[in-house]
Structure 1
Amino acid sequence: MSSFYVIDSDSVLIRPTTVADIPEIVKLQEESFADLAKIGNIWHPHELKSHLEIFPGGQLVAELDKKIVGSATSLIVQLNPTYADHTWESITGNGMLTTHFPAGDTLYGADISTHPRVRHRGIGHKLYQGRKDIAMGLNLKRMIGGGRLYNYCEHSEKLSPLEYAHNVLDCKLHDLVLSFDLINGFDFIKILPDYLEDARSLNYASFIEWVNPHYKQDP
């Protein structure tokens, strides 16, 4: 019998990532992103170790019954201009977070995952809230990210990436990633081409933004 079951999200603990969590996070990635795992586009132990060395305060896991069922990876950046095009590799330092800029004004969501067997139970929402708490605690202006257009491959013959995104915004289509981002208070800004090698999104992602309502600009 599976050790995963229907849960109450209140029983899930969101906490900072530790070095001891790394093997479980790698396994979580392999099971959460089976399509990307085939081409190596998931976290590897040396990358996760680098994240903890560079920005330990930006790394979170979701724990249920002492098992890791979700994780979130973040760094601080400063884009110029505000909505500059970028790729996942360029913004994350090829996954090592060497681009982390402590003096920046923006929290960047490099990755978020929940185990497939416990999705739609509020765990992803709690991880996003954990990120928002980090952004507010550090008085960052906003949080942004690039969400791959997960279901775009099913509509690419009839719709451009932007048309597809607007259909999701208008609730005419559902996208596993963008719809989830919108529910969690993000705004769609634009399409990012060549964001990440990914057969499902055809490498397209949505630039998403959440503005910190408690941000206080330095006098």
Structure 2
Amino acid sequence: MSEDDLPKIVELQKLAFPYMAAEGVYWKSEQLKAHLKVFPQGQFVAEYHGKIVGSCSSLIIKLKSDYEPHTWKDACGDSFFKNHDPKGDSLYGADVSSHPDYRRLGIATKLYDARKTLAMNLNLRRIIAGARLFNYCEHAKEFTPLEYVAKVKKHEIKEPVLSFQIRNGFKFIKILPNYMKDPRSLNNATFIEWKNPNFVEKS
């Protein structure tokens, strides 16, 4: 990601997250600029024939305990990544976006792979994130978020986000309630984790 990309990423965000954009929840140029300043190597874009069709933003943090309940704001500090800690042990996935007209091309997988490579290069212990339950709003009257996840893991309910993350080697840990304002997930998220197989404990 470079500063020249930022206006295009803002427009991508609005297309990728229309429900959240309607609530005003998407990256602004000044926030993306701050991400580049605090942790440039953690910000990626995906291009297809010269067009930006995906992006992801990340920071390094250290939770007080491995699976501490938290909100998006708790993890990121705020939209300017004030919680970035170069001495932390976890790469935190703040967001991944892909253009709706270019899905099923493996864009998100390549962005996830870029994060994994970064985590290994920096010898970080893991990648963690709070991930959306995109279709939960359609099943909330029938199931609690945890029951919904159990159905998704059994392939009884289609859930594009969590299913994709599980296919990419992430493990579901628990539900994070009141994670962020999200009408699709009813503000719930899944705590997901990928452990770096090459991690070397620092002496």
Question: TM-score per shorter chain, which class?
Answer: over 0.9
One-letter amino acid of the counterpart of residue 2, structure 2: T
Structure 1 residue 125 corresponds to structure 2 residue 109: yes
Structure 1 residue 197 corresponds to structure 2 residue 175: no
- CA displacement 1:5-35 (0-9 Å, x = unmatched): xxxxxxxxxxxx0000000000100100011
Instruction: Please identify, of 88-97 and 57-66, the stretch whose mean Cα deviation from structure 2 is larger.
Output: 88-97
Unpaired stretches in structure 2, ≥5 consecutive residues:
none
Distance in 2 separating the partners of 1:171 and 1:212: 26
Distance in 2 separating the partners of 1:134 and 1:165: 29
Match of 2:199 in 1: 215
Match of 1:77 in 2: 61
Report matched runs for 1:91-102 at 5 Å: 91-102=75-86
Match of 2:146 in 1: 162
RMSD of the alignment, in Å?
0.7
Match of 1:38 in 2: 22
State the TM-score, normalized to the length of structure 2.
Answer: 0.98
Please state whether the residue corresponding to 1:22 is helix, strand or coil.
helix
Identity rate, percent:
50
- CA displacement 1:142-191 (0-9 Å, x = unmatched): 00001111100011111000000111111111212111111111000000
Distance in 1 separating the partners of 2:168 and 2:115: 11
State the TM-score, normalized to the length of structure 1.
Answer: 0.91
Please state whether the residue corresponding to 2:160 is helix, strand or coil.
coil
Structure 1 residue 147 corresponds to structure 2 residue 131: yes
Q: Which of these residues, 42, 46, 59, is aligned with residue 58 of structure 1?
A: 42
Shift of 1:65: 1.3
Distance in 2 separating the partners of 1:196 and 1:132: 24
Match of 1:13 in 2: none
Distance in 2 separating the partners of 1:196 and 1:119: 24
Match of 1:86 in 2: 70
Please state whether the residue corresponding to 1:208 is helix, strand or coil.
strand
The alignment covers a number of residue pairs equal to: 203
Shift of 1:100: 0.3
Unpaired stretches in structure 1, ≥5 consecutive residues:
1-16
Distance in 2 separating the partners of 1:72 and 1:42: 12
